[in-house]
Homo-oligomer: A and B are copies of this chain.
Amino acid sequence: MSPPDDRAEEARRHAERFQRVRAAHQTEVAEDYVELIAQLIDETGEARVVDLAGWLGVTNATVNNTIQRLQRDGLVTTKPYRSIFLTDAGRDLAVESRKRHDIVREFLMALGVDAETADIDAEGIEHHVSDATLEAFATYLARSTNTATGRRRS
């Protein structure tokens, strides 16, 4: 059973999965940054380097480097010594990331995970959840919300 060809095919698919994970890692920092930038702008009026550094737990210099990459990639704009703004693409990515992040966090809590743990785990998990899985999370969430509200499923 399982001739070498099947085995090779299995390896190929396995490798494909890893390539997807590696790709996700490349967009991860961008997602976290734009999400945070959007939040800071909404809540405080502006996103400054020093704030991002404080909220992310990295140095100002690191934020600067990253912002340059994000600018290169068309997600933010900024002028020397001025605060950071999102481009349309950046704002879109921020909204999508935020939505995803919230669903993951709420899903974990609905499953019975405590809030602090849900916050921690969601920060990492959010970047590895496909649309299909997010859909499944949202469905579970809707059902458990209904249940909690007193409704019952058929």
Question: Which A residues are within 8 Å of any B CB, using their own CB?
Answer: 8, 11-21, 24-25, 32, 51, 54-58, 108, 111-114, 117-121, 123-125, 127-130, 132-133, 136-137, 139-140
Given contacts A25-B25, A57-B16, A125-B125, contact A112 B136 (CB under 8 A): yes
Chain B residue numbers with a CB within 8 Å of A57 are: 14-16, 18-19
Chain B residue numbers with a CB within 8 Å of A16 are: 57
Interface of A is mostly: helix
A56 adjacent to B18 (CB under 8 Å): yes
Q: Nearest 8 A-B pairs (CB), nearest first?
A: A124-B128, A15-B57, A21-B124, A111-B136, A117-B132, A17-B123, A125-B128, A11-B55
Question: How distant is the Cα of A21 from the Cα of B117 in the complex, in angstroms?
Answer: 12
Given contacts A11-B54, A15-B54, A136-B108, contact A121 B129 (CB under 8 A): yes
